[in-house]
A and B are shown apart, each in its own frame.
Chain A
């Protein structure tokens, strides 16, 4: 029933009625909740509803009267806070030079309308209420847009005294790595328009420069204030590193300063790990070796391949490593001039199609097999190029292919849909490489609408999705989004899950192109379309 344009008086009357309805609904909700608890089934978890923290509230809501569990936010292993040496509108900033006052540190980007402003607001209120001399540092993980000039505008909208800094992409990546902050660029539907995904914790560095606490996103201001006050009462920490603390940030030697680019690194065999180097004229690394967090080498050194995608500034380096188990590892890159070390976290691949092994043979359908593309995809504006090839076709033609497991409509993780967006952009750039999109959940088409079989909580996987092992990785792993890259021999060479950075697939495809170029001359050779913009000449695979 539609409500015609309402004036303020109508609005007030509607709100009165609404209040009554809300009371009735609240009672109804209690009943429903009771029923739901009995019947079972959890509502889907939203990012705002983190367990064990207060629900994400605006800072102006009244604080809970329950005492704050300060311990829950303190770091178990205290260590010296990693340094920050970046630049802002006020000039260079060094976190070490800010000792003597507590500092709250958090990472984000200025084109973020939701998470970052919420964090800035909450931290501002927390510092106000703390009534001490705490400061705040915002590190931008988007130096491409967050230039010093732009940050100068941005700080005017932050609470007074906040500092915003950024640096070169390599400096930012190294800083984020040291803090354990992960981030990736995520393309959108519009070419050139992107957002950043990033971990959103707020870190607390005490007056002595020790990393004391961290607040997950959603922590409210009164909690932060209480923890700040509690930290003042703690005895000064011995700033030496605890035995099982994360390794220190400085590489043992600084001839190379590698930074990790890969958005997914997997344990098991054949995991491609992508690096960039931070220095003007690096000595190109020759080999890489995997180290445990104790610094002891595991396995033999492997060659490092330099890859330069067309139109992308800077060289990426790819080392294909066998990583024995999930968890924290280090990689040492060695060059003629010296070494560099970087930390990484390897994820457990579970039953997903194994790297270094033949891609699953399960046949997919193409547009020729169905009445309408609605049977193959729930995307209302499908790109036909995603549905005209099967993996078998690609292999028969000796082509590498990219297999995208994702759904437009049936989203079981919050990143669903984004792999498809990225695929469409990479399609324009890699016009000779088949991209194959597959919806992993079974559905049927009723009149013209896709209807899921089962429910989002208990969907039915297609045979193809089961063959690729997309949801076989424990409770946290859902069936999508995934991107697999398979080379011309049918071997799975790379895979990405969840939040997928746009650079990775481009680098891997370039690496495969380079490999095959040395083996086989392409029919037409020419520049690739620019990344994230529809383009020009094409590279065609033979």
Chain B
């Protein structure tokens, strides 16, 4: 039987400055036949993690805003990538150094919690 969604290439970009948030990215695929949704996240490395979406408005201005969920249609990879959906890791508990990894706990509507290791890298 299918396990929960699969997560590939999870990575986090170090923050740009003290007290700044870090952005987390990955590709998530819900197994075919069972759509799901990403509804939350947390990490020991951050005081809070929100799901955000960057998007371009009608006149080309890009802005980001928090979203409650990322829909995961069955069998389709959904990318959290620069310029689109991303995790915002806020109130970081320590420095994030390129080359290290941190744990992210992802909460899915139908599959519950999944823990992944995300690589810290610049891009």
For B93, the chain A residues whose CB sits under 8 A away are none
Query: What is the interface residue range for chain A against chain B?
Result: 35 or more
By CB atoms of chain A within 10 A, which of B14, B17, B83 has the most?
B83
Please report which residues of chain B, range 3-26, place their CB below 8 angstroms from some CB of chain A when the two chains form the complex.
Answer: 3-4, 6-8, 11, 13-18, 20-23, 25
Q: Mark B44-80 against chain A: 1 for CB-CB distance below 8 A, else 0.
A: 0000000011111111111111100000000111010
- How distant is the Cα of A157 from the Cα of B95 in the complex, in angstroms? 13
Are B81 and A56 neighbours in the complex by a CB distance under 8 Å?
A: yes
Are B57 and A18 neighbours in the complex by a CB distance under 8 Å?
A: no
- How distant is the Cα of A246 from the Cα of B49 in the complex, in angstroms? 43
For A158, the chain B residues whose CB sits under 8 A away are 16
Are A58 and B123 neighbours in the complex by a CB distance under 8 Å?
A: yes
By CB atoms of chain A within 10 A, which of B13, B61, B84 has the most?
B61
For B23, the chain A residues whose CB sits under 8 A away are 113-114, 117
The interface stretch among A21-29, A329-337, A391-399, A443-451 is A21-29
Task: Choose among A3, A182, A196, A199 the residue that contacts B113 (Cβ–Cβ < 8 A).
Answer: A3
Are A117 and B16 neighbours in the complex by a CB distance under 8 Å?
A: yes
Task: Choose among B15, B29, B63 the residue that contacts A113 (Cβ–Cβ < 8 A).
Answer: B15
- In the complex, the chain B residue whose C-beta lies closest to that of A159 is B122
- Answer whether residue A46 sits at the interface, using C-beta atoms and an 8 A cutoff: yes
Q: Known: A21-B6, A48-B83, A217-B62. Contact between A113 and B20, CB under 8 A? A: yes
- How distant is the Cα of A59 from the Cα of B123 in the complex, in angstroms? 5
- How distant is the Cα of A153 from the Cα of B57 in the complex, in angstroms? 30
- Answer whether residue A89 sits at the interface, using C-beta atoms and an 8 A cutoff: no
Q: Mark A181-199 against chain B: 1 for CB-CB distance below 8 A, else 0.
A: 0111010110000011111
Q: Known: A1-B111, A14-B3, A114-B82. Contact between A415 and B117, CB under 8 A? A: no
- How distant is the Cα of A217 from the Cα of B64 in the complex, in angstroms? 14
For B16, the chain A residues whose CB sits under 8 A away are 110, 113, 116-117, 120, 154, 157-158
For A18, the chain B residues whose CB sits under 8 A away are 6-8
Task: Choose among B54, B75, B115, B122 the residue that contacts A32 (Cβ–Cβ < 8 A).
Answer: B75
For A540, the chain B residues whose CB sits under 8 A away are none
- How distant is the Cα of A14 from the Cα of B31 in the complex, in angstroms? 14
- Answer whether residue B41 sits at the interface, using C-beta atoms and an 8 A cutoff: no
Are A499 and B6 neighbours in the complex by a CB distance under 8 Å?
A: no
- Answer whether residue A414 sits at the interface, using C-beta atoms and an 8 A cutoff: yes
Q: Known: A29-B75, A121-B122, A195-B63. Contact between A22 and B6, CB under 8 A? A: yes
For B4, the chain A residues whose CB sits under 8 A away are 1-3
Are B123 and A118 neighbours in the complex by a CB distance under 8 Å?
A: yes
For A56, the chain B residues whose CB sits under 8 A away are 81-84
Are B58 and A476 neighbours in the complex by a CB distance under 8 Å?
A: yes
Are B3 and A1 neighbours in the complex by a CB distance under 8 Å?
A: yes
- How distant is the Cα of A249 from the Cα of B117 in the complex, in angstroms? 50
- How distant is the Cα of A218 from the Cα of B16 in the complex, in angstroms? 19
- Answer whether residue B120 sits at the interface, using C-beta atoms and an 8 A cutoff: no
For B15, the chain A residues whose CB sits under 8 A away are 113, 157
Task: Choose among B29, B56, B115 the residue that contacts A22 (Cβ–Cβ < 8 A).
Answer: B29
For B114, the chain A residues whose CB sits under 8 A away are 3, 6
Are A48 and B113 neighbours in the complex by a CB distance under 8 Å?
A: no
- How distant is the Cα of A95 from the Cα of B53 in the complex, in angstroms? 33
Are B29 and A25 neighbours in the complex by a CB distance under 8 Å?
A: yes
- How distant is the Cα of A110 from the Cα of B4 in the complex, in angstroms? 36
Are A195 and B18 neighbours in the complex by a CB distance under 8 Å?
A: no
- How distant is the Cα of A120 from the Cα of B7 in the complex, in angstroms? 26
Task: Choose among A47, A110, A118 the residue that contacts B56 (Cβ–Cβ < 8 A).
Answer: A47
Are A58 and B75 neighbours in the complex by a CB distance under 8 Å?
A: no
For B112, the chain A residues whose CB sits under 8 A away are 1-3
Are B123 and A17 neighbours in the complex by a CB distance under 8 Å?
A: no
- Nearest 3 pairs between A and B by C-beta? A2-B112, A414-B55, A197-B63
Q: A3-B4, A414-B56 are in contact. List 15 more A-B contacts (CB 8 A).
A: A2-B112, A47-B55, A47-B83, A48-B84, A58-B25, A113-B86, A117-B82, A118-B13, A154-B16, A198-B62, A199-B60, A415-B65, A418-B63, A476-B58, A499-B63
16 residue pairs bridging A and B, Cβ less than 8 Å apart: A3-B3, A3-B115, A46-B85, A60-B121, A113-B20, A114-B83, A115-B64, A121-B123, A154-B17, A157-B17, A188-B65, A196-B63, A218-B83, A414-B55, A414-B63, A498-B58
